[in-house]
């Protein structure tokens, strides 16, 4: 499913993203979206949002820390994201990166 939706996504006029922790919930959410009459086709304008998926680099121990220490742009963005997440009441995630 993941390969198909990313490799061939430009062929589809509608896209949907949901999050869940079990298959029953997937079914419920898909049914609710199928009944939703307010869905709109994907805009033709270039998107300004990027999706990042966590957990993809867990086998690369300390890569995040190395980037944080050695790459100023990465560090600057991470610090900015950390401030944003804290503004929404989340705890800092920097200890996960810088040890």
What is the per-residue burial (b if ≥16 Cβ within 10 Å, else e) of 82-96? beeeeeeeeeeebee
Is residue 87 scored above 80 in pLDDT? yes
Interval 13-19 mean pLDDT? 80
Determine contact, residues 18/30, Cβ cutoff 8 Å: yes
- Half-sphere exposure (CA, 13 Å, Cβ side) for 57? 10
Per-residue pLDDT at 98: 75
Q: How confident is the model at residue 1 (pLDDT cuts 50, 70, 90)?
A: very low
Q: Of 29, 33, 99, which Cα lies nearest the Cα of 68?
A: 99
Q: In this predicted model, what pLDDT tens digit does every residue of 24-71 receive, in sequence order?
A: 888 898 888 888 878 788 778 877 777 666 665 555 667 888 888 999
More confident residue, 87 or 64: 87
What does the alpha-carbon distance between residue 81 and residue 83 come to, in Å, rounded to a whole number? 5
Look up the pTM and report it: 0.42
């Amino acid at each position: 499913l993941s390969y198909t939706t990313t490799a061939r996504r430009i062929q589809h006029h509608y896209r949907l993203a949901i999050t869940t922790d079990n298959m029953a919930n997937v079914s419920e959410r898909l049914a609710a979206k199928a009944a939703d009459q307010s869905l709109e086709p994907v805009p033709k304008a270039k998107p300004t949002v990027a999706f990042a998926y966590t957990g993809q680099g867990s086998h690369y121990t300390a890569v995040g820390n190395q980037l944080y220490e050695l790459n100023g742009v990465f560090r600057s963005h991470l610090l900015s994201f950390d401030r944003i997440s804290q503004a929404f009441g989340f705890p800092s995630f920097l200890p996960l990166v810088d040890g």
